[in-house]
Amino acid sequence: MAIVACLLLPVVGLLLYGMDRVEDWLTRPPQPPRRLPARHSAARHLRLIRGGGQAAGTQARTDRRSSDAA
């Protein structure tokens, strides 16, 4: 019986250590999502309208000029 207890002791120790690690992993707060470098996000950005990258003020000035000409 002592031989069986000595053989099971390392198994129980590993089981307790593993369960402690799993419990710490499950109870930690979620980490914020990783940010990709700017070059990756710019490459995946879709521009569906030509000139869509213009500032809002630039667009308003061009609209006024076309209405004054008419």
Instruction: Show the DSSP H helices in 1-70 as ranges.
Output: 2-27, 38-43, 56-69
Residue 62 — left, alpha, or beta (φ > 0 → left; ψ -120 to 50 → alpha)? Answer: alpha
Q: What is the pLDDT of residues 9-46, one digit of tens each?
A: 999 999 999 999 999 999 998 888 777 666 655 556 66
**How many angstroms separate the Cα of 4 from the Cα of each of 9, 17, 18, 63?**
9, 20, 21, 88
The predicted model gives 40-64 an average pLDDT of 61
Which of the given ranges, 10-14, 57-61, 64-68, has the highest pLDDT on average? 10-14
Residues 6+ apart with CB under 8 A from 9: none
**pTM for this structure?**
0.42
Statement: residue 63 has pLDDT above 80: no
